[in-house]
């Protein structure tokens, strides 16, 4: 295949083989019911890999049609990735009905805003736009994961090892992709061989991490949780907030007595 070094090709096949193993494992253990987003993401990744191999063989690496196929199929992969990340959110917070109700709305608004901004800010020059949009989308992934886990930390919700590993995988991959794409954006063609290497190697590591994650016992990720009567929250939340507000006013007066003197 013209334009691809042998070792890059070897890594590409290795990554594809690993993903096929993960997809087979998910399907054979019926784990796609637990991880529907992740399963769809791996499956689409495998399909994209097959399409890319076919395109490389037929048109060569630098052909415009190959690049169109590559970046075009990337849109579908990104949609599946969004689903996979939504799955992580659900796995982490889904058990806590009240908090989950608040979190998914917040994350959806944040996600849509970030994605919208990434696309708009990417501009209209094809070569630059795709890369810029990709960097923006990877940063959005990072930000969503950070907000999700800050949310969980605020409510002292401990993630299971499987959820941690899944999230960590996406975080590592997105971080590497942002930096890698930024360098490519700057140096363009001269960086392509190294860009291929630095996008494939972290991905292989992450697929390994995800494989480890989906092999963890399912019961730990989906234990049922009993809830308190609705009244408890509505009775206590305003009470706590009122006291906190009073306390803060008192503290403010204490810190700056002059400002509050009538």
Partner 1 sequence: MNLLFLLPIGALVLLLVGLFLWSLFGIRKKPLNQSGITELEGKEQCHATHCPQIRQALDPADFAYLAAAGGAKLARNVRRERRRVVNDYLVALRGDFDHLLRLARAIAVLSPEVVAVHEFERLRLTLEFQWRCRLIGLRLMLGAATLPQVSGVSDLVSHLAVRLENTLKELGERAALAAELASSLDRRNLNTV
User: Which sign, positive or negative, has the C-alpha torsion 81, 190, 118, 63?
Assistant: negative
Q: Choose between 154 and 261: whose C-beta lies nearer to partner 1.
A: 154
Q: Give least dist CB 57 to partner 1, A.
A: 33
Does residue number 216 form part of the binding site for partner 1 (CB under 8 A)? Answer: no
Q: Choose between 54 and 179: whose C-beta lies nearer to partner 1.
A: 179
The dihedral over CA atoms of 50, 51, 52, 53, expressed in degrees to the nearest 10, equals 50
Residue among 21, 54, 120, 232 that touches partner 1 (CB under 8 A): 232
| Cβ neighbours, 10 Å, residue 161 | 13
Q: Choose between 123 and 238: whose C-beta lies nearer to partner 1.
A: 238
- Residues from 119 through 158 that contact partner 1 (CB under 8 A): 135, 139, 142-143, 145-146, 149-150, 152-158
Does residue number 67 form part of the binding site for partner 1 (CB under 8 A)? Answer: no
Does residue number 244 form part of the binding site for partner 1 (CB under 8 A)? Answer: yes
CA distance linking residue 147 with residue 210, whole number of Å: 21
Residue among 64, 231, 259, 262 that touches partner 1 (CB under 8 A): 231
Q: Which stretch binds partner 1 (CB under 8 A): 1-9, 20-28, 64-72, 243-251?
A: 243-251
Does residue number 229 form part of the binding site for partner 1 (CB under 8 A)? Answer: yes
Instruction: Concatenate the DSSP letters of all residues of 52-74 into one string.
Output: HHHHHHHH-TT-HHHHHHHHHHH
Q: Please report, for residues 22, 88, 157, 192, the alpha-carbon distance to residue 94 in angstroms, rounded to integers and kept in the order given.
A: 24, 9, 11, 41
Does residue number 248 form part of the binding site for partner 1 (CB under 8 A)? Answer: yes
Query: 9 with 1: CB under 8 angstroms?
Result: yes
């Amino acid at each position: 295949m013209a334009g691809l070094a042998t070792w890059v090709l070897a890594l590409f096949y290795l990554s594809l083989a690993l993903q096929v193993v993960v997809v087979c494992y998910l399907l054979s253990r019926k784990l796609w019911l637990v991880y529907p987003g992740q399963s769809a993401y791996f499956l689409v990744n495998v399909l994209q890999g097959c399409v890319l191999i076919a395109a490389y063989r037929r048109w060569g690496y630098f052909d415009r049609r190959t690049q169109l196929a590559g970046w075009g199929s990337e849109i579908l992969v990104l949609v599946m990735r969004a689903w996979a990340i939504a799955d992580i959110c659900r796995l982490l917070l889904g058990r806590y009905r009240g908090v989950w109700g608040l979190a998914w709305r917040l994350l959806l608004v944040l996600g849509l805003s970030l994605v919208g901004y990434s696309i708009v800010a990417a501009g209209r020059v094809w070569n630059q736009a795709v890369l810029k949009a990709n960097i923006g989308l990877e940063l959005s992934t990072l930000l969503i994961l950070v907000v999700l886990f800050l949310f969980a930390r605020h409510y002292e919700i401990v993630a299971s090892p499987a959820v941690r590993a899944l999230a960590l995988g996406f975080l590592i991959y997105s971080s590497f992709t942002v930096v890698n794409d930024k360098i490519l954006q700057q140096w363009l063609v001269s960086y392509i061989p190294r860009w291929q290497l630095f996008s494939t190697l972290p991905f292989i590591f992450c697929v390994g991490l995800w494989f480890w994650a989906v092999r963890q016992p399912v019961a730990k990720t989906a234990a049922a949780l009993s809830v308190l009567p609705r009244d408890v929250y509505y009775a206590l939340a305003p009470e706590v907030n009122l006291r906190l507000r009073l306390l803060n006013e008192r503290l403010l007066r204490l810190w700056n007595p002059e400002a509050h003197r009538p």
